[in-house]
Amino acid sequence: MKRKWMVLIASIVAIMLCISVVFYFWHKEQQKKDAVAKYALLEEYSYAGGTLHMEADTSEYDQTGDPNDIELMPTDLTYDLLQRWEAIAEVIPTIDYPEEAVEKEDWLEVFSTLANNRFDMEEASEKLAERV
């Protein structure tokens, strides 16, 4: 009878160890995925800020480490870019202007729209250059 209890306890301990090892590796993998996602978001903020000529306030991010706490702030160059973009979008219908995202100051969405329009803008620019 004593042997059965020892086998049962050993089995339970072995199962708990297996579960712990699986959980440990799962947790490590989740941490890697979170770090990759965080880095990707930091890169997106960096690209958006640079492309749209914005300044970034990272004071809150420095405290929390959460990239969502980075605040992009438009400059005069940003508003000049947006004004030109809006004027071009009125003339060339294939180019989208993210009016709603600009009003909401959703700068990552504005950057995404700009990136998605890049080829249409280049094509329109080439056509205009041919006319000159």
pLDDT tens per residue, range 1-44 = 788 888 888 888 889 998 988 899 999 999 898 888 888 888 88
Instruction: Count CB atoms within 10 A of the CB of residue 101.
Output: 16
Judge whether 2 lies within some domain.
Answer: no
Judge whether 100 lies within some domain.
Answer: yes
Judge whether 18 lies within some domain.
Answer: no
Question: For the chain, what is the domain count?
Answer: 1
Judge whether 12 lies within some domain.
Answer: no
- pTM here? 0.70
Judge whether 51 lies within some domain.
Answer: yes
Judge whether 61 lies within some domain.
Answer: yes
Strand partners, 56: 72
Judge whether 95 lies within some domain.
Answer: yes
User: Which domain does 69 fall in, by range?
Assistant: 33-131
Secondary structure (3-state) at 1: coil
In this predicted model, what pLDDT tens digit does every residue of 91-118 receive, in sequence order?
Answer: 888 889 999 999 999 999 999 999 998 8
Cα separation, 81 vs 83, in Å, equals 5
Cα separation, 120 vs 127, in Å, equals 11
